[in-house]
């Protein structure tokens, strides 16, 4: 039997937040792009986000039959907000400066469409959605 102690919480590798330049349009006083800080969420947090964007819709032609439907665009926006550590997308002054009501709306107003799409890809990558099992095994070996 294999050594199960490697699976104990205290022995698992901790996932650190990452810093990335999301847009070259946000620069510091030296005109250097400012990095955003992004952290992964837990599976429990992800499940709550996914459920909050899932509705039961009636199945046409079938009485009392419902099918769960997830609004993946809204889910992805909520996940991106939840993972964004810096800048603080919940900051009132930041939201007011863009005329945005809420963190999801702010994120969409701050980023150009292409930047937003790339940011969502980055968020999914940080949360492990883009890593296949073989890639994970190879990375663990190194």
Structural domains in the chain plus CATH codes: 16-125 (3.30.2220.30)
Give me the pLDDT at residue 6, please: 79
Check the CA dihedral 61-63-66-71 and report its sign.
positive
* 54-81 per-position pLDDT tens digit: 998 888 888 888 888 889 999 999 999 9
* pLDDT greater at residue 64 or residue 44: 44
- How far, CA to CA in Å, does 44 sit from each of 10, 19, 26, 51, 140? 19, 23, 32, 11, 24
Give me the pLDDT at residue 142, please: 46
Could you give the percent of the chain with pLDDT greater than 70?
90
Lowest average pLDDT, out of 30-34, 69-73, 114-118, goes to: 69-73
Structure tokens given for 103: 């963190």
| pLDDT greater than 60 at residue 136 | no
Rounded to the nearest integer, the mean pLDDT of the chain is 88
Separation of alpha carbons 91 and 54, rounded Å: 27
Tell me the pLDDT band of 117, cut-offs 50, 70 and 90. very high
């Amino acid at each position: 039997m294999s050594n199960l102690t490697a699976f104990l919480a205290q022995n698992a590798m901790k996932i650190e937040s990452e810093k990335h330049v999301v847009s070259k349009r946000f620069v510091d006083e030296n005109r250097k792009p400012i990095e955003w800080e992004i952290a992964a969420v837990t599976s429990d947090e992800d499940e709550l986000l996914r459920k909050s964007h899932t509705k039961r819709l009636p199945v046409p032609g079938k009485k009392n039959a419902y099918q769960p439907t997830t609004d993946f665009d809204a889910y992805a926006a909520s996940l991106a907000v939840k993972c964004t550590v810096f800048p603080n997308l919940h900051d009132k002054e930041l939201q007011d400066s863009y005329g945005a009501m809420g963190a999801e709306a702010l994120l969409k107003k701050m980023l150009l469409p292409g930047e937003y799409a790339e940011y969502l890809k980055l968020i999914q990558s940080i949360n492990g959605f883009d890593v296949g099992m073989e890639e994970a095994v190879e990375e663990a070996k190194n």
